[in-house]
Structure 1
Amino acid sequence: MKLYYAAGACSLSPHIVALEAGLPVELEKVDTKAKRTASGEDFWQINPKGYVPALRLDSGEVLTEGPVIVQYLADLKPESGLAPANGTAARYRLQEVLGYINSELHKTYSPLFKPETPDAVRAERKEYLRKRYALLEQRLATHEWLVGDQFTAADAYLFTVTNWAQHVSLDLADFPAILAFQKRVAARPNVQSALKAEGLLKAA
């Protein structure tokens, strides 16, 4: 399998999940502005949506959308516990949280990365994010992880998007449980490996 990624983008989430599951995944960096891969491929031809992540399966098919890719990877190694079994209440809870992060956090961050976004819109988006983080703060104040009692694909996704806060000057000081969660996830060996591989953390 080959994972098309951009350093620090939402593709970090399936990268982490692949490492946590012990799955051999080849990495291919994408220039998201030029839409070219590191090996010179036209990324539009790989993913017509034009964004990462994209996962080329061994069959040659390409799977897109981060929340789907992380579940696919987790299901390849069910013993990893990265996703509860399909059809269980816990699996629907995982999908519920992945959907929440995707629609309420991930997409809300997007305009904050665009220099042309007006200040008023930036302020409104940041306030919206704080309201959405408040719900997750409640969960993480009493639970180590988002779903069940172990690290799952949802935690990888939340860690990835919340890392963006520092890049858009979003102050999360009012969310101590979220900040503690970020440190907890960052300390995981496989997360460290993913960050180093993407050039986000200098090797020791």
Structure 2
Amino acid sequence: MKLYYSPGACSLSPHIVLREAGLAFEPVLASTKTHQLQDGTDYYGINPLGYVPLLELDDGTRLREGPAIVQYIADQVPTKNLVPANGTLPRYRLQEWLTFIGTEIHKSFSPLFNPAMPEEGKQIYRERLASRLQWVDGQLADKPYLMGENFSVADAYLFTVSNWAAPMKIDLSGLKNLLAFRERMAARPAVQEAMKAEGLLK
């Protein structure tokens, strides 16, 4: 398998999950600025949408969108319990989290990365993010991970997008449960391996 990624982007989530799963894969750097691979290949020829992540399976099949990719990876190694079983209510709870993180948190960060967005507009998104992250903090009050006692693929996604808070001037200092969650995640070997591979940790 190949994972097309950009350092620190949302592709860090499936990168973490691949390492948690223990699956063999080749990380392929795809710049979100130049939309080229390191060998000069036009990334739009691989993913016409131009963004990461994209997972290419051994048979050449390509899968886009982080929440779909992480579930596919986890389903390849059911004994690792990275996702609940298909068709169960806990699986729909997991999908609920992946959707919430994707639409309410991830996409609310997007305008903050846009240099053309006026500061007044950015402030609206910062306030929205603060309220969403406050809610997440409450959900983590009585459990170490989003789904309970055990790590799931949703945790990799939340960790990845919450990494953007500091550079985008979102203050997490009052969110003690979220901060404790981030510490637990940062201590996981798979997280450290993925971040080192992307040049985010020395």
Give the SS at the match of 2:8. coil
Structure 1 distance, partners of 2:177, 2:91, is 24
Size of the aligned set, in residue pairs, is: 202
Please name the residue that 2:90 is paired with: 90
Range that drifts further, 3-12 or 142-151: 142-151
- Could you tell me how far apart the structure 2 residues matched to 1:41 and 1:123 are? 37
How far residue 39 of structure 1 moved from its aligned partner, in angstroms, is 2.7
Task: Decide whether the 8 Å contact of 1:75 with 1:83 is kept in 2.
Answer: yes
In the alignment, the residues of structure 1 paired with residue 162 and residue 85 of structure 2 have an alpha-carbon distance, to the nearest angstrom, of 26
Indicate conservation of the 8 Å contact 1:90/1:148, yes or no: no
Give the superposed CA RMSD: 0.8
5+ long unaligned stretches in structure 2: none
Written as runs of structure 1 = structure 2, the 5 A alignment for 1:167-178 is: 167-178=167-178
Q: How does 1:117-196 map to 2 (within 5 A)?
A: 117-196=117-196
Q: Which amino acid aligns with 1:11?
A: S
Contact kept? 1:13, 1:66, Cα under 8 Å: yes
Moved over 6 A (4+): none
For 1:182 and 1:148, the matched residues in 2 are separated by 15
Q: Give 1:30-109 correspondences, 5 Å limit.
A: 30-109=30-109
C-alpha distance in 2, partners of 1:159/1:29? 21
1:17 alignment partner AA: V
- Scaled by the length of structure 2, the TM-score of the pair is 0.98
CA distance in 2, matches of 1:40, 1:81: 38
In 1, Cα distance between equivalents of 2:61 and 2:38: 20
TM-score for both structures, normalised by structure 1: 0.97
CA distance in structure 1 between the aligned counterparts of 2:94 and 2:85, rounded to whole angstroms? 10
Percent of residue pairs identical: 53
Offset, 1:66 = 0.3
Q: C-alpha offsets along residues 28-50 of structure 1, whole Å, 9 cap, x if unaligned?
A: 00111211112322111111111
SS of match in other structure, 2:106: helix
